[in-house]
Amino acid sequence: MTEDGERYGDLKSRYERNSARADWLAKLIILGLAVEIAGVFVLQKEMLEAAVTILSTALIAIGVWGELKFSHRAREAGDAIVAEAEARAAEANLKAREAGLELAKFRAPRSLNREQTERIAGKIKPFAGTSFAGARNPGNPEFESCLRDIEIALHMAGWKEIDWHVSPGRSRAAGLTTIGTDASVWDVSIGIPQRNFQTHSKPAFALAEALSAEGITATAAIVYDQDAVAIHVMVGPKR
């Protein structure tokens, strides 16, 4: 238990203990007043004096009884309010932690480890020989890093990468294809060439599903471009 938790537990214990003592003292006062009223009859005081004594003592007894009763109710209500406030605070802290985790997850760069890469490759290997070309949004190195991880999985599955030729691209090191640098997409977009929809739709949807299963949000849709012949694998910012 933390130091604050121990302090809170000690204060609560003292509060309950002293509240119980106050209740007993109030009851003793009522008992004493009842004895005083009884004493009036036993001592047989004069009628007027006895009436005044009984009335004043009864009023005090009623007041003490009322204070005892309603202070107890107020204490119960106060305890309920405190408990509700603590529950709300705990819920707020939990939501804040969850929001922090979600934000951290959102800001984390997308990447694939070896196991994830192999799982993706295994799912799309039945479509070996499918041609694809890569592109990414401008501005953030994370987009190209994510694209590179996806390319590795595609190569492992036997897919054939070709140069990006639909729009301006960037040549890479020897042995690597040219990739597009001015894509305008969200998450990972798998573009299906309209002219080859019959042969490329199944592998495109399989790739989108395999990526999403590994935590990289991906969707597949038709690319209405007459020059497009390969599946477009395009990476943009998270949404």
The 10s digit of each residue's pLDDT in 32-48 is 666 666 665 665 556 65
More confident residue, 201 or 224: 201
Question: Model confidence over 133-151: pLDDT tens digits?
Answer: 999 999 899 999 999 999 9
For residue 118, the model assigns a pLDDT of 97
* Cα gap 178→171, rounded to integer Å: 4
* CB contact set of 71 (below 8 Å; sequence gap of 6+): 22
For residue 55, the model assigns a pLDDT of 63
Give the pair of three-digit tokens for residue 85: 């406030």
Task: Please check the confidence at residue 124 and state whether its pLDDT lies above 70.
Answer: yes
**Cβ proximity of 136 and 234 under 8 Å:** yes
Question: Model confidence over 65-122: pLDDT tens digits?
Answer: 666 666 666 667 667 766 776 777 677 677 757 655 565 565 789 999 999 999 999 9
- Residue 235's nearest CA partner among 130, 145, 123 is 145
Task: Please check the confidence at residue 180 and state whether its pLDDT lies above 70.
Answer: yes
- Residue 179's nearest CA partner among 188, 167, 189 is 167
For residue 3, the model assigns a pLDDT of 60
Task: Please check the confidence at residue 131 and state whether its pLDDT lies above 80.
Answer: yes
* Cα gap 81→128, rounded to integer Å: 65
For residue 239, the model assigns a pLDDT of 86
Greatest Cα pair distance in the chain: 121
For residue 84, the model assigns a pLDDT of 74
* CB contact set of 57 (below 8 Å; sequence gap of 6+): 33, 36, 37
For residue 91, the model assigns a pLDDT of 77
* Cα gap 130→199, rounded to integer Å: 9
The model carries a pTM of 0.59
Give the pair of three-digit tokens for residue 224: 């209405």
More confident residue, 166 or 67: 166
For residue 42, the model assigns a pLDDT of 60
* Mean pLDDT of all residues belonging to the chain: 80
Q: At what angle do helices 47-107 and 3-43 cross, to 10 degrees?
A: 170
For residue 17, the model assigns a pLDDT of 67
Per-residue H/E/C for 71-92: HHHHHHHHHHHHHHHHHHHHHH
* CB contact set of 207 (below 8 Å; sequence gap of 6+): 120, 124, 154, 190, 218, 220, 231, 233
